[in-house]
Amino acid sequence: MTRSSSASASSLPVQTEPTAPSLRPAMPIMAGVFLSFLMIGMALPVLPLHVHDVLGFGPCVVGLVAGCQFLASLVSRLWAGRLTDTRGPKRAMALGLTAGALGGFCYLASLLALSMPVISVAILLVGRTLLGGAESLIMTSGMLWGLGLVTSDRSAKVIAWVGMSMFAALAVGAPFGSAIYTHFAFLGIALASTAIPLVALAIISPLRPLIPPHVAKGHISAVFSAVLLPGLGFALSGITFGAVTAFLTLYFAIQHWANGALAFTLFASALIGARIVGGHLPDRFGGARVALVCLFGQAAGLSVIAAAPSSLVAMVGAAIAGAGFSLVFPSLGLEAVQRAPEGNRGLAMGAYNAFLDLTLGLGSPLLGLIASHAGLGAVFTASAIAALLAVPIALALLPRQKRRR
């Protein structure tokens, strides 16, 4: 096999250099992903306060500033995947972290223009756009880099743990950001958002890069064909995430139940715990089979929330839904990676992750419409139905799985 000048570099799974049978080599990658999304999560609860209370803008501009990052992330997913395939995941992640630090610097620069709110919010929009591109690069390259560092029978576990790093960082980032904002205002958020990506960049810098595989790149239509079914299944399942994050605590408040925040914590804890305990299951039993079981569990937990006569029962349902939702992402992600052409796995992961952006962007407003007409309980019923609609997709993936075996 022909090697590039980086003779010491690790290789992607399609090459012949050995990979590790454990997740330990991928831990620095997960740390980089965690720090990146910690920085993103810190700003989520405080940006609306800064834009509204300090800059004096209304809900429309608040929504624009909050949402432009996710729009930029959606638009840049395929580009991030292609860059990861062609230039290697280390370079893609380094570029993403650099963009993240520049986004934090835009936060700082916006504070210099507080006397000119329009200019200040325009700089914030530039920073949020940079962070959206950074998110795409970091998540896509992190998954492909992790896959290249471990043996193929750990593929789903890597996807699960990299995804768990993101969810855990967002969960920790929100209260951490609120505490910083309380004591240091938006200046503290801006300084932390500039420094944290640089710390992550220092963590990954000593790591050996992966050599992009020298295989013919498949046509983009072949990649979409491979990712379409797993992506649609994940999109239907992902409506649950939008329902829980946007409506669970509000549902508890409307029902006059205490501990709405605890219910959300139980959902997140069950999600993380299930990935720690069962992250290996898709590798062992196949992604489609595990996704099939998890979709039924996810739907059952959501149905319990919708029909719960008390807060305790609803919290049990939230935990069941979190455990069920936890392994759908890595299970169907494994199917997407295995179906994609070897030289386009970064593009495949970028396209697969874009389905979550799409479902949150479209599904959450639809759930809000359902809630306004049928009540908040109907949100969780609709999410359960969406999860069940993904079951035929998982079944359709089973025959291919059996042929691989």
Strand ranges for 188-231 from DSSP E: 210-211
Other Cβ atoms closer than 10 A to 27: 15
How far, in Å, CA of 140 to CA of 143, rounded?
Answer: 5
Q: Which residue's structure tokens are 């992640």?
A: 93
pTM: 0.71
How far, in Å, CA of 320 to CA of 288, rounded?
Answer: 20
How far, in Å, CA of 357 to CA of 242, rounded?
Answer: 10
Q: Residue 117 has which token pair? A: 């709110």
How far, in Å, CA of 363 to CA of 105, rounded?
Answer: 32
What pLDDT, in 10s, does the model give residues 208-239? 887 766 555 556 777 778 888 999 999 999 88
Q: Could you report how far apart the first and last alpha carbons of the chain are, in Å?
A: 28
Angle made by CA atoms 325, 300, 392, in degrees to the nearest 5: 70
60 pLDDT higher than 80: no
Percent of the chain predicted with pLDDT > 70 = 88
pLDDT at 4: 37
What domains are defined for the chain? 24-205 (1.20.1250.20), 220-404 (1.20.1250.20)
Helices 287-307 and 311-326: angle between axes, nearest 10 degrees: 170
How far, in Å, CA of 199 to CA of 98, rounded?
Answer: 11
Q: Which of 14-23, 48-57, 180-189 has the highest mean pLDDT?
A: 180-189
How far, in Å, CA of 328 to CA of 390, rounded?
Answer: 10
How far, in Å, CA of 254 to CA of 245, rounded?
Answer: 16
Better-predicted residue by pLDDT, 127 or 49 = 127
266 pLDDT higher than 70: yes
Task: Tell me the sheet residues that pair with 10.
Answer: 210
